[in-house]
Amino acid sequence: MTVSEAVVAKILNICDEKNITINKLSTICGITQSTLDNIVNGNSKNPKLLTIVRICDGLNISMHDFFSDPIFQNLDRED
């Protein structure tokens, strides 16, 4: 799994856990839906760190909590 695929999986897992849509996530985080759609659909292979910070802030989770997920272990770093 690549880094970008792991980010997508983590975002989708959070949405599933919190029972929210990508649209709702965009509203909560103050990110345009098109930005999140581009990340989730794989059109944006390298989301900005600020975007991930905004997702974490909107969901009241730390960056540590986001990236400490086991999904980020043993990644293929050739995105």
Residue 69 — pLDDT band, cuts 50, 70, 90? Answer: very high
Question: Where in the chain are the domains?
Answer: 3-72
Fold (topology level) of 3-72: 434 Repressor (Amino-terminal Domain) (1.10.260)
CA 9 – CA 51 distance, rounded (Å): 15
What's the pTM? 0.88
8: which 2 tokens?
């997508």
For residue 28, the model assigns a pLDDT of: 95
User: Is the predicted pLDDT of residue 79 greater than 60, yes or no?
Assistant: no
**Dist. CA 33–CA 22, nearest whole Å:** 7
Q: What angle do CA 69, 67, 61 make, to 5 degrees?
A: 95
What digits encode the pLDDT tens for the residues 21-53?
999 999 999 999 999 999 999 898 889 999 999
**Residue 61: band (very low, low, confident or very high) from pLDDT cuts 50, 70, 90:** very high
